[in-house]
Amino acid sequence: MGQTSVMRKPLTPAREFISPSDLTFGLSTCSRCLWIKYWFKVTMPGAFPLVGTLADLQEKHFRGASMTDIDSSLKEGTVTKWGEWVKSTPLIVNGESTRWRILGKYDLVAHNTDGTLALIDCKVSDSTRDSAQFYAPQLEAYAHSLESPATGKPAHVASMGLLVWNPEEGFSDGERHGFLAGQKYLPVERDHTQFAKVIENLITVLEGELPESGPTCATCNYLIERARLDVL
Ligand code: SF4
């Protein structure tokens, strides 16, 4: 599409806290909407019915769970925290401290018996996109915030992973009804170098001028068609 526009930046961004999910979804299409979100706090509305409800139900199921019951490859430990906000110290790019930090709410954290932590992100999904690699920057952002917290003691995150429930069939006992899901745990390898690259890329974009829109985003194509019709 290659639209070019000039937009005056305010003196400071409207928000300086980076959402971990923006490191996956935000950067996977084009960064123009992200730039607008951080400088003007104008966010494209999402339409994800049921996603939050299903994730909450799944997360509740694992409160207090044993990690080795979740997956035999995991260290011994117990899920002790859920749905807590984490905020990092300012992010460093090329050795320089920036104004940007991570702020996000993780799903599950376990305390391992050896004193380390394990981080788990819950998903209810049948999407083939739910690969460990796709979500790696998001999980790394939570791990980074736990290891470099704005307040409190730094922890060591020994493992990260996705816990995916894939709905497979309907279920009913006459009174209660639902879906039966297959469960898989997908380990996500720690990769500090890749995370540093993603952060540098995002911060460079945010500190620059308004980026051009991506060529394939259905939302921008829709908006352009609307503008052609000259209707709001
Ligand atoms: S292509 Fe348009 S709608 Fe899509 S992310 Fe970029 S600016 Fe936003």
**pLDDT (tens digit, 9 = 90+) per residue, 114-142?**
999 999 999 888 877 667 888 999 999 99
46 versus 34: the higher-pLDDT residue is 34
Residue type, 143: A
Q: What percentage of the chain carries pLDDT values higher than 70?
A: 93
CA of 226 relative to ligand 1 center, distance in Å: 14
- Which residues sit opposite 182 in a β-bridge? 166
Dihedral sign, Cα of residue 10, residue 11, residue 17, residue 20:
positive
Cα 212 from Cα 195, distance rounded (Å) = 24
pTM over 0.85: yes
Q: Which helix (H) or strand (E) holds 69?
A: helix 67-70
Comparing 133 with 232, the larger pLDDT belongs to 133
pLDDT over 60 (residue 5): no
Containing 137, the helix (H) or strand (E) segment is helix 132-147
* pLDDT (average), residues 11-25: 92
Task: Out of 3, 31, 33, 43, give the residue to mutate to test ligand 1, the one with the largest number of ligand atoms within 8 Å of its CB.
Answer: 33
Query: Is the C-beta atom of 118 inside 6 A of ligand 1?
Result: no
Residue 52, pLDDT score: 81
